[in-house]
Amino acid sequence: MSIVLLLSGCYGDDIDLLKDNQSEMESRLTALESWQKTVNDDIKSVRGLITALENNDYVTGVVPVMEGDTEVGYTLTFTKGSPITIYHGKDGKNGASVEGQAPLIGVRQDTDGYYYWTIRYGDGDVDWLLDENDNKIRTTLSAPQVRINPNTNYWEISNDGGATWTSTGIRATGATGSQGATGATGSQGATGSQGATGPQGPAGPQGPQGPQGQPGADGAGGTSVFTSVQIFDDYVEIELANGGGKIQLRLLVSAKPVGFSISGGVYDFIPDTLMKIPYTVPSGRTAPKDIYCINIPTGWTVKINKSSTNGEIFITTPKMTSTSSLPLEVETIQVIYTDSLNRFYIVDIPMTYSIAVGTIYYELSTPVGIVCRTRDDSRPVVGERHGLIVHKDERTFTWVASISQTPSLQTYCYDEYYGFNNMAQMRNVLNWGTNYPAFKWCEEKGDGWYFPAIREAHNIFNLSGMTTVIGALVNSSKNYWSSTERNTGGGAVPEAFYARGLDNTNSTTKNISYEVRAVRAF
């Protein structure tokens, strides 16, 4: 019985040892996968830093990254580029054998002044990372990636964003050492003399367990792509690992330089216009070493004359379209100025973007309408954010198709302020597209266009007498149908309203011919 129990105990110890070895291997793999993600994130960050350096970008802020109470890195913000987070370097343990040496990616400046990717294995030499044609890979053009192949357990590198992977021939983790041999079983005790049964001899001692095999080498060797980050009064210095040296990025000084000024106050921009803004360089100094603008609205263009101490900033606004950026409050374009002493400053150009009556509206680069109303908060119109546009096309219609169409039929299009609601109501009327062609014609102008309500139709006359507008001219002798039906309560033949001037509202039977123009709110 004692022998059977002894063997069972040895078998249980073996199982526990195998479980321990498996748990250790899983922990090492988890650590390697975490290290792999960190390195790939660092590679993206170093590419962003080199791009900022080569683009003469400047740091506008440095915010510590905390894990609990411990500072683990910084997030840098820039005048041009996106924020970049970099982490402090952490020493790792290099694998003891070649199989445990992870590929360490870095950057280094070459003799041409540009930075290129490098690679090092363990404590080996730093070499250039080469593409499939054996050419160095410039840091700002692409970023390599590293991974552990889940099938082969080898380190791999991709130079094309993960589309293809090349094996390094180096295993991510070493093989687990073999288990030691089981110790010998102790001898059985001697049998007692016959007669009174003597006590059973004690079981022999269990043989010692064989030594555990040596674990394979760790694969997560090396350090971060960054060795250190230091912040000084006017620049941030970042030391790169693998002999990459140090890079310095200038910190932006927000104080306005004495003597540098932008002429004028708040600039009022209108669509499709070139505006010239003069600036003056501090007295006694040369032309700016560098000057450019940030916070430029989408679709706007900015050019700067840097050839003299009294230069000019040229700002061109886009044409008015359905996707135009239309800020209602004062916004700011910022000028980044570098003086001859390499000091950096921000100077603001406050601006508004105004839409005036008569502004031309474009669709697909084609002028199709004119602003006939700008928003009046004292008289808000539903659906308007900025104002109302009238289409350039004009056509004569009767409100109904013909006198044979029963003019007494009510459509319940009673909204006086927002013709879009009348369009929605008209779609409930049987054969509306045929019997009420003015509604259909306005809708066919495209997305957002509709037959104006009476309060909207009045605004067409804001264009009266303007010779610069496109399309048919507007004058006070014209009558414009609206989509608003007169609500007679069913007692009389229903009529529709038409506009004759800015505030002149009349109604008449629907078989009269008047002008029609489509509108859209913006």
Average the pLDDT over 245-255 and give the result: 74
More confident residue, 413 or 41: 413
More confident residue, 74 or 21: 74
Confidence of residue 481 (pLDDT cuts 50, 70, 90): very high
Architecture field, domain 360-521: Roll (3.10)
> Which pLDDT score, from 0 to 100, does residue 2 have?
37
The residue type found at 515 is: E
> Which pLDDT score, from 0 to 100, does residue 441 have?
97
> Which pLDDT score, from 0 to 100, does residue 443 have?
95
Strand partners, 73: 65, 87
> Which pLDDT score, from 0 to 100, does residue 5 have?
37
| 94-136 residue pLDDT tens | 333 334 467 888 888 898 888 998 888 877 888 898 888 889 9
Q: Within 10 Å of residue 451's Cβ, how many Cβ atoms?
A: 30
The CATH number, out of the four listed (2.60.40.10, 3.30.930.10, 1.25.60.10, 2.60.120.10), of the domain defined by the range 261-353? 2.60.40.10
The structure tokens listed for 141 are: 């053009």
The structure tokens listed for 211 are: 């030594």
| 329-358 residue pLDDT tens | 557 787 877 766 666 677 778 877 677 888
Q: Within 10 Å of residue 507's Cβ, how many Cβ atoms?
A: 16
Average the pLDDT over 394-412 and give the result: 78
Distance from C-alpha of 297 to C-alpha of 301, rounded to nearest angstrom: 8
Distance from C-alpha of 13 to C-alpha of 19, rounded to nearest angstrom: 10
- Please report the beta strands in 178-305, taking only residues with DSSP state E, as ranges in sequence order: 226-231, 235-240, 245-250, 261-262, 267-269, 274-280, 290-294, 301-305
> Which pLDDT score, from 0 to 100, does residue 92 have?
40
| 272-305 residue pLDDT tens | 878 888 887 765 555 567 788 877 887 888 998 8
Domain boundary assignment for the chain: 33-171+216-250, 261-353, 360-521
Picking from 66-80, 261-275, 389-403, which range would have the lowest pLDDT averaged per residue? 261-275
Picking from 29-38, 74-83, 424-433, which range would have the lowest pLDDT averaged per residue? 29-38
Whole-number percent of the chain with pLDDT over 70 = 68
